[in-house]
Structure 1
Amino acid sequence: MFSIASDSAKSVRYVLEHDHADPNESIGPQSALAFALTNEHLTQKLEIVKALLAHGADPASLRNPELNPPHRDSSVGDDSMLLSPPPTTTLEAMDPATRYFISRADAPQTRHLSTLLQKSLFRPLGGVRYDIVGQDQVFEQLFTVLNLHSRTLSVSPLVILLCGPSGHGKSFLARRFGPLLGVPTHTVNVTTLRSTHDLWDSYSMSPYEEITTRTLAQFLLENEGKRCVVVLDEIEKVEEPKVLYSLLMPWELGERVAGTCSPRAGHRHIDVRQVVWLGTSNIGHDFVFEFCETSSGMSVSHGEYLELARLVRPRVSQSLGASLSSRVTTVLPFVPFTEAELMAIATEAFYSLGGERAYFVSLDIVEHVSRKAIECYIPEEGARSLHRAISSLLMDMPEFLEQSNK
């Protein structure tokens, strides 16, 4: 209760991650989720709600009068006062982003995905669904692969390629993979590589990781036999395809040779079977849009997604070469956003760019700004175009935030 009341999403995450609190415990007469939703003084309400959901808060508590005490609704007249849930705990009275994440947590598919990871070594990754909007089919296929890999205690390397349009969450998922698992991560910007030596001598290029002078080879040696993550960002944009040929052995057998880029006598092998290799790529982005437009619309069913993944794989093979692509465990194409997902992204951008005052504007204003931003949405640019649109709206029409003072 104190971490929620202190209006600190960081504190909420800390107590949940360290098992100092149960996300479904009651706070007085309310569940923790209901307490957060009904607290009108929180400026980090959305992030706190997402943290609770990511750690297993059950939205069903909002429909339980014992965990979400009703209040009297006087709008129906004095003679027939009705008891109803507090307005801020109903989907109709939530902003588009909160509504989206509450609905996602309450969906049968989410419970199915949680079951897939329940006994898996990759269970902490379940929380990433509250960091990324959309891509439900990506998560289902990813969690299925991870569950199988964990359940069979596979000793083969795990190589995952995230591909498709820009701005749809590929790099974000890759960046969150290691931190959620609590394991070290090394990110290689493949566009900078000119030789096979560049690959193993590359430093981690991610601004979200601790600055280090360790090369990829040193990183693998330090984490030999341990779970860790290597991100190969923009993997198809390598200038010389032969640069990636030295990945054939690690991806096939789970080992590489210290100090060199190809097997050679006199060098001991490094065990990299516990490494999760994550590649990000724009391969197939045009085809993804075409496929989704000609199927059942932008909302892709599970069967359609499996067909899309099957059709994208040959394009991966053509771009990276069959010898390398054949060693990829799974190819996960990211798909276009639905309207509800676009509204959620725009709303999050509004709160993020608008500062504290943005949390106190009316729901009508939030909806209006989000819909105006969607008018400027560019599918090929993804979420970035929505962030840019929100930023422009706030600069050109500052009266949106002035509403918070009225």
Structure 2
Amino acid sequence: MFAIASDDVDEVQRVLGNGEVDPNDVVGPQSALAFALTNERLVHRMDIIKTLLAYGADPSGLSDPELNPPNRSSISDRHSMILSPPVTTVLQSMDPATRYYMKRADATNTKKASTIIQKSFFRPLARVRYDIVGQDRVFEQLFMVLNRHSRGFAVAPLVVLLCGPSGHGKSLLARKFGSLLRVPTHTVNVTTLQSTHDLWQAYSMSPYEEPTSLTLAQFLMENEGKRCVVVLDEIEKTEDPKVLYSLLMPWELGRCSPPGGGRHIDVRNVVWLGTSNVGHELVFDYQMTLPPQATLSREQYTELMGLVRPRLSERLGASLVSRVTAVLPFLPFTDDEKMAIAAEAFYSLGGETVASLPVDVVESSVRTALPQYLPAEGARSLHRAISGLLLEMSEFPQ
């Protein structure tokens, strides 16, 4: 409770991550989730709530009067009272982003998918659902692949290609992989590669990772035999796919021999992640065959996976893609997901200026941004629209 009251997201994450407390522990008159929802002084309430949910806070506890003491409001008979939960803990009274994450945490499908990797090394990845909006089918399929790999059912290294439209969470998921698992990550910007030599001599290009002077070959040698992550960003954007052919052996046998390396390196425990826009038209075309706002079934998503893989084979070569464990297409956002993205951007970009605005004002404001959503640009178009909205609000305050 002290960490929440301090309005410090990092501190909340630290005490939960270290196992000092459980988010569902009863400490005082309220649950941690109820306390965060009802504390009007929190500027970073959204991020704190997401952190609590990511570490397992149970929204169903909000209906328990002992964990979420009700307000008492008078009716006509002053001696009679109605018991009701605090208004900010009622789903219908939450802003679109908080409501979205609360419903996601309480959904049966979310809980089922998370249990798939509960007993594996990859368990912390279940928390990524509170960093990325949408993509439930992606997570479901990813967790099944990780479960098979961790149980020894796979005979080849883990290689996953995240593909589809821009701005739908591919790079964010790849970036979160290493940080959630607390393992080293090396990100290669494939657009800069001209030769096989460039691949193995590539430095990590991600501003979100610890600065390093290691090349990819040196990174793999330093982490030989250990669990680590290599991200190949924009994997299809190389002029010559042959640049990537030196990945054939590591992706199939878990061993690599970089030019000039002198020996084979054991890379069986490396998680290889590639991001690509290949197949984005196919994703949109497939979505158009469904009723508006329909959610893909598992069978439909599996069919879409099968349709996208040949497109990647055409671009990268069948010999390389045949060694890929899973091709996971990212899907367009539903209206609820767009509202959640827009509301979260509204609080994040607006900061203290908008933190105390009534929920109905927030909802009506972010709804005006939805017409500016561009499917081909995804969340970036909504962030741009919200940025313009906040600028307009500052120049022409109500």
Which TM-score band applies after superposition, normalised by the shorter structure?
A: over 0.9
* Cα distance, 1:121 vs structure 2: 1.1
Asked whether the 8 Å contact 1:161–1:330 carries over to 2, the reply is: yes
**What's the counterpart of residue 267 of structure 2?**
272
> What is the aligned partner in structure 2 of residue 311 from structure 1?
307
Structure 2 partner of 1:330? 326
**Corresponding residue for 1:127?**
127
- Give the residue type in structure 1 aligned to 2:244: L
Asked if the contact 1:257–1:268 (Cα under 8 Å) also holds between the matched residues in 2, the reply is yes
Aligned positions of 1:5-404 closer than 5 A: 5-74=5-74, 78=78, 81-152=81-152, 154-260=154-260, 267-298=262-293, 299-398=295-394
**What RMSD, in angstroms, separates the aligned Cα atoms of the two structures?**
1.5
Shift of 1:105: 0.1
Distance change in 2, residues 1:111/1:87 (3 Å): same
Determine the C-alpha separation between the residues in 1 that align with 2:244 and 2:269.
Answer: 20
- Displacement of 1:352 in angstroms is 1.1
How far did 1:183 drift?
0.3
Cα deviation for residue 259 of structure 1 reads 3.7
Q: Which of 325-334 and 80-89 deviates more? A: 80-89
Assess, with a 3 A threshold, how the Cα gap between structure 1 residues 318 and 85 changes in structure 2: closer, same or farther: same
What residue is the counterpart of 1:264 in the other structure? none
CA distance in 2, matches of 1:289, 1:153: 33
Q: Secondary structure at the match of 2:168?
A: coil
Q: Deviations over 1:84-124 (max 9, x none)?
A: 11111110110000000000000001110121111011001
Aligned with 1:283: secondary structure? Answer: coil
Q: Are the structure 2 counterparts of residues 365 and 228 from structure 1 closer, same or farther at C-alpha, using a change threshold of 3 Å? A: same
Q: Is the 8 A contact 2:190 2:234 kept in 1?
A: yes
Residue 181 of structure 1 aligns with an amino acid whose one-letter code is: L
Maintained 8 Å contact 2:166/2:378: yes
5+ long unaligned stretches in structure 2: none
Q: Is the 8 A contact 2:157 2:271 kept in 1?
A: yes
CA distance in 2, matches of 1:78, 1:151: 63
Q: CA deviation at 1:78?
A: 4.6
Residue type at the aligned position of 1:235: I
| 8 A Cα contact 1:163 1:333, kept in partner | yes
Which stretch of structure 1 is more off in the superposition, 23-32 or 377-386?
23-32
Note closer, same or farther for the CA distance 1:104–1:220 as it changes in structure 2 (3 Å cut): same
C-alpha separation between the residues in 1 aligned to 2:320 and 2:194?
A: 18
CA shift, 1:61, in A, is 0.7
Write the distance in 1 (CA, Å) between the matches of 2:117 and 2:104. Answer: 17
Cα distance in 2 for residues equivalent to 1:243 and 1:260:
16
Contact 2:189 2:234 in 1 (8 A): yes
Q: 1:233 to 1:72 in 2, by over 3 A?
A: same
Question: Secondary structure, in 3 states, of the residue corresponding to 1:217?
Answer: helix
- Aligned identity (percent) is 66
Deviation at 1:258, TM superposition (A): 4.3
Q: How far apart are residue 27 of structure 1 and its match?
A: 2.7
Work out whether residues 200 and 258 of structure 2, in 8 Å CA contact, stay in contact via their aligned partners in 1. Answer: no
Asked if the contact 1:373–1:390 (Cα under 8 Å) also holds between the matched residues in 2, the reply is yes
The whole-number CA distance in structure 2 between the counterparts of 1:206 and 1:76 is 62
Q: Does structure 2 retain, via aligned residues, the 8 Å contact 1:27–1:35? A: no
Give the partner amino acid of 2:282.
F
Deviation at 1:368, TM superposition (A): 1.3
Aligned-residue offset at 1:26: 1.6
Q: Which amino acid aligns with 1:4?
A: I
Q: 1:248 to 1:64 in 2, by over 3 A?
A: same
Judge which range, 358-367 or 69-78, deviates more: 69-78
Q: Which letter does structure 2 place at the counterpart of 1:272?
A: V
CA contact (8 A) 1:309 1:332 kept: yes
Counterpart of 1:370 in 2: which secondary structure? helix
Q: Please report the TM-score for the alignment, with normalisation by the length of structure 2.
A: 0.97
Deviation per residue, 1:62-86 (Å, 9 max, x gap): 1111111111233687575311111
